[in-house]
Structure 1
């Protein structure tokens, strides 16, 4: 069971006070149905249920909506064959390894509508430390209650590049729900290869090719281009001088969205120093994740051409992203580093061609560091002789966020600096230093 109470206050052109209460629960069970020569057939059942209420006070008027979510699902795991024990079976049976299949489905019901889905998967282990998997799913998702019923309000100001005027503008995003959203449909396929762990350092890696086709997926307009403003004039608000003042970012349905990506992962653990008697040895964990976008094409509706987001149509997206995570621990001391990098990308002014008025966003990378020390509490037996539960102690730490003070930058298609991408426009904070103390009671 989980519960949450939260409150949010925002001051500005649109003063808002919002509070939310939610309560949810999850129940799962599994049971062996029968035993095949390759192993037992297992059925897993689960149900999730939640209810929430959100109250928002805007301009002295109270708006409230409640929502519920019920999700029922089942998965069947079937072993098809397995590797014989050493000394048994033929050479062919050993070469085939182990193969298992999963079949599943779920039904979801909310105030905003109903969703359902089916999925299937295969997992093959040709060798002990190699695994090949394939997964397919098809689903119709229900629109979330917030996407459909949330009241309209102004969000925090954002700086955008206005292709119509060729200047940057600080605008107010209009947020909230869209009552007439249609439920999205998804078809997803993923093929993965995993290997490891190897060597004393537990080196392991994986590669995964993922493809997704969606119809009626919901989201905000991707960019402030003249083409999109002409197609959705009521979504863009300008003053008498033509300056952009607000953008309606409430969700709309996209006719279709097709994406393909290649994700890879590599991880290893290294021991630090010699283990002292009664104390664990220190460790250093290194993880690298890389994502390469192979395809990203969106069609908003039939009157607009398909937008290839990777070349900049309808708002560009980075083609590559790299994340590096380092986690070290020795005794009471800890060190964590998170490095993130994304490639540059272009946003075209006009769909289908590059021009001098395009926006070219530069690559950017950031590094965050955390140093920590755990002060353990002394453990004393109680008068009854029972040793109390060991606590986590008090953790003291220092966070340095964006160590090198990197800021996003951009230029126009002809090389001129892009308005709205100065040092303090997109990220006015930059580097930040934070001290903290944390304890569990």
Structure 2
């Protein structure tokens, strides 16, 4: 039996990992009531726990899901052989022949009709930290033109934050199905098995591979309970399963390497599940920005959608930051992002529209990298426009860009430095900034 994914829809709920528990079943009475591991499960199912945290993690942080499946997953992955995915890289990757110290910008990775799946179409741009110590991240661009057929994948190294830019993908996971379109994001937890189908392609987008602690909502502090991203807007899938006995493969990312196992059936055979460790998706149009309503431009951290904590309080392993449509109302204020240097390494991507600090050159599908403690900010056109415009309330419209920022330096991969469409003249965007100092205090 195989359920038709078109009959499925994500149900709303709090984002996994906040103490809430979901339960869903694809067949009536498949989900045990009152106990997790009964002596015998209905329908001849096997009970199995998928743990996303240590067993003894504090109860408010403990994440686990009980799965009731046709076969235990030990039947789905064994006798591994090494497989090479040359464009998917992991940290540490420090090439002595490449210089990552600098300001970089790329045009969109060209779309292609070459057959590329979710695995073969992944292109790593930067790496940071160390996958073996579960710190840091990698930033990727994906190009997908072909669905995975009887082929499945999971990462033991990381959770993946997927940010589509063009095309639509379907993630068929152990715990249900997520359809993903530009303007939405998905989180695929560490250890979750899935395959990816192309619904509308070619598909292109961005991926943040998080080696460290899981993404969570940031603390709002004095902002309080409302605005930014709300827990109820994160969607988890309903149970769906495949009962197909067909030769298949499962690829596992483990320790920065890839391994493949031959299996005789689909591993997406979870008939029912309950727990708080699950994939989810979020519509970025549900994000409510906050900002200054009198004067001054707040730090970009005010636009944080998700954060993956590090061991240093207030300093993230990764922040996922969103710059979307919003009203600009501050008086006597330079409204675009100001010139700055900071300890975070900032990789930006443009989903659609025009970014206010770079009116030219930073196009949809493009990326930029400003590494830690390197100065950056508006080009001359943006500076002059913002310095002289009429500061009436203004709607910044048709814009959606994001940032993957981390406390670690992001190192370029050979693909980013040599094959991706790097804009060699990017740093020239600041070359014509003029000296304006004349010794006069100017207006008060």
User: Same-fold call, TM > 0.5?
Assistant: no
The structure whose Rg is larger is 1
TM-score class, shorter-chain normalisation, is: under 0.3
The answer to which structure has the higher strand fraction is: 1
What is the TM-score of this pair, normalised by structure 2? Answer: 0.21
The answer to which structure has the higher helix fraction is: 2
Tell which has more relative contact order, 1 or 2 (C-alpha 8 A, sep 6+).
Answer: 2
